[in-house]
Structure 1
Amino acid sequence: MSRFRDAFLEMMVAERGASKNTIDAYRRDLEHYEAFLTHRGVSVDRADGADISDYLAGLEAEGVKSTTAARRLSALRQFHRFLFAEGITGSDATASVDSPRTGRPLPKYLSEEEVDRLLAAARDVEGAEGLRLTCLLELLYATGLRVSELVTLPASAARREEPFLTVRGKGGKERLVPLSPASQTAMRDYFPARHSFLSAGVDDSPFLFPSRSEEGHLTRQRFGQQLKALALESGLDPAKVSPHVLRHAFAAHLVAHGADLRTVQQMLGHADIATTQIYTHVLNERMAKLVAEKHPLAKRRLGQARGMGKRSD
């Protein structure tokens, strides 16, 4: 059975540019599925919808999260579609299988006022560290980059005159991301201070945010720690603040101010518009809360409800 899996994974790399992490995740999911089929004496090319439904039912019985089950089913769908497309099977075994309900939570993000407080705290940090923190935050909030994309930006990003970045994202795919004037200014202010973060005896680095780490650039973990320290300084709950939360804030604030969803999708580097649509749910929730709190009829009904709740003596 592994030969089919290996052929599928080779296709994912060659035709879709899947990253090593993606391939490793697919391999683990498919190996788990194949072990289930082997136990019941069914080969991959003979599996049908009932086998897959039983596999999913087994995951549920084991207490596997619905999000994990949905991810595994996504891997199985692509695998079985590949087998069908290659003529290995006569049909797509996953065609009749329903996806698990994930109950996907809305993304957590900061308000515009909270982002302003974080930025103010970064500007209050003195010296090269403050310049770097300000640059990191301005870039992250202006572009919505993944933290791995942010910390590995090339030094050439600060030398460009164009008001945008060329970012290499998941699967090696490139996208253009516009820069705000504030983020461009922050990069110009920070760039002369880069040498402060170089290892002893090192003249320069290919990275915009070099460090003495083994990777040669600021690590995701270190930046996450710095963000939490800034949260404390700005009076925010550190548990609410992370690089990914700022990426969500970037997208949610754009959508709230009327940005086109396709444009936001391109800037975030989402392969599927459905991933970006979660931010419309955030906006809908905010609008519903606003109406409930501010609309005069809602206030009147709330007052009536409170009045009805009072006991008469």
Structure 2
Amino acid sequence: MTAATIAIDRFLAMLAAERGVARNTLLAYRRDLEDALGHIPDLAAAEPDDLRTLAVHWADLAASSVARKASALRGFYAFLVTEGLRADNPSSGLPRPTLRRPLPRTISHGGIDSLFAVIADRLASPTATRQDLRLSALIELLYGSGLRATELVSLPRAALRGDQPFLILKGKGGRERLVPISDRARAAVALWRAYVPDDNPWLFPSGKSHLSRIRLYQIVRDLAAAAGMDPTTISPHVLRHAFATHLLEGGADLRALQSMLGHADIATTQIYTHVDAARLVALVNARHPLGEAIAARTPPTR
């Protein structure tokens, strides 16, 4: 192993042990660091001018991808300095793309109604299957609680109890949070759990493990197609966005929403405030005293 690969391993081990960084995030960091290592073999000893050459290799990437890669490298060099493995931090040479945070893709209330109408029809059919009960439980939890795909498919069988309107979940970055569970979701889970063997550790088992994220995506898109929607516009994450968007539209507090979604930084939650802009403008125009005064004005005559 080279000095650079050893340093990368130590950096990732620190992130896992001291900061509880999620496995998928660690894998992404490793990919980004190894990609940079392919362009700069002596990555641990790189100078700012070496890092500036990465802009050429990253020229065809999206700004968000460049920002992610640069962030991994900044963390890596900060770690090297902290550990005394180098005296200076060369991160000033990294590309700094201008980012505009994309608005989350979501789904209207009517679209949600269409999805649940398909589920209701299937459950009411004499030919309803176990898969229909599973589908109901999955969608109720996705839209009703805003779970991430990984969090949902890996739920333990005992995570939800019939008399408990919440579950304590260890989510992204190992952070625990309290997730409220609606009466509808608890009822749907209870019906599905009756078909899950008592000795199975997973709520949504599949083979020797639990349902995969890929399979969950397929299930959600099949449901969208059955509801007459474009399946490429619907995913588990879109339903999570819909959960947040519709709660905010209904008057939910941003801090409470941050807690329910498991966001470490409220700035992440604030991306949902755009959905309330039109409603707030209408509210000011309709309810603010000056709004009434402005509406009563007549245009001046010439």
The interval holding the TM-score normalised by the smaller chain is 0.7 to 0.9
**Counterpart of 1:209 in structure 2: which amino acid?**
F
Partner Cα separation in structure 2 for residue 93 and residue 82 of structure 1: 12
Change (3 A) 1:259 1:289: closer
- TM normalised by structure 1 equals 0.78
Partner Cα separation in structure 2 for residue 44 and residue 225 of structure 1: 41
> Per-residue CA shift, 1:66-123, capped at 9, x if unaligned?
2211110110111121122223333433257563123443221111221122112112
Partner Cα separation in structure 2 for residue 186 and residue 67 of structure 1: 38
SS at match of 1:193: coil
**Counterpart of 2:192 in structure 1: which amino acid?**
Y
**2:248 is the alignment partner of 1:246:** no
**Counterpart of 1:47 in structure 2: which amino acid?**
E
Alignment of 1:1-313 (within 5 A): 1-38=4-41, 44-48=44-48, 50-60=49-59, 63-94=60-91, 99-125=96-122, 126-159=128-161, 161-195=163-197, 204-211=199-206, 213-215=207-209, 217-284=210-277, 286-287=278-279
Q: Which moved more, 1:96-105 or 1:83-92?
A: 96-105
> Per-residue CA shift, 1:189-212, capped at 9, x if unaligned?
3322335xxxxxxx631111223x
Residue 57 of structure 1 deviates from its aligned partner by: 4.1
Partner Cα separation in structure 2 for residue 271 and residue 137 of structure 1: 25
Partner Cα separation in structure 2 for residue 190 and residue 56 of structure 1: 51
Residue 289 of structure 1 deviates from its aligned partner by: 10
Residue 231 of structure 1 deviates from its aligned partner by: 1.8
Percent of aligned pairs with the same residue? 44
Change (3 A) 1:182 1:43: closer
Change (3 A) 1:237 1:43: closer
Q: Which moved more, 1:271-280 or 1:4-13?
A: 271-280
Partner Cα separation in structure 1 for residue 135 and residue 38 of structure 2: 48
Gaps of 5+ in 1: 196-202, 295-313
Q: Which moved more, 1:241-250 or 1:255-264?
A: 255-264
- TM normalised by structure 2 equals 0.81
> Per-residue CA shift, 1:25-49, capped at 9, x if unaligned?
21221122233333xxx6534523x
Partner Cα separation in structure 2 for residue 47 and residue 15 of structure 1: 27
Change (3 A) 1:263 1:99: farther
SS at match of 1:277: helix
Change (3 A) 1:132 1:2: closer
> Per-residue CA shift, 1:136-179, capped at 9, x if unaligned?
11111111111121112111123352211111222333221111
Contact 2:166-2:180 at 8 Å conserved across structures = yes
Contact 1:46-1:89 at 8 Å conserved across structures = no
**Counterpart of 2:27 in structure 1: which amino acid?**
D
Change (3 A) 1:45 1:140: same
Change (3 A) 1:288 1:166: closer
Change (3 A) 1:223 1:23: closer
Partner Cα separation in structure 2 for residue 224 and residue 58 of structure 1: 32
Contact 2:169-2:177 at 8 Å conserved across structures = yes
Change (3 A) 1:96 1:275: farther
Contact 2:12-2:26 at 8 Å conserved across structures = yes
Contact 2:119-2:136 at 8 Å conserved across structures = yes
Change (3 A) 1:255 1:91: farther
Change (3 A) 1:89 1:262: farther
Partner Cα separation in structure 2 for residue 206 and residue 105 of structure 1: 38
Partner Cα separation in structure 2 for residue 111 and residue 102 of structure 1: 27
Cα RMSD after superposing both structures: 2.7
Between Structure 1 and Structure 2, how many residues are aligned? 277
Change (3 A) 1:282 1:117: same
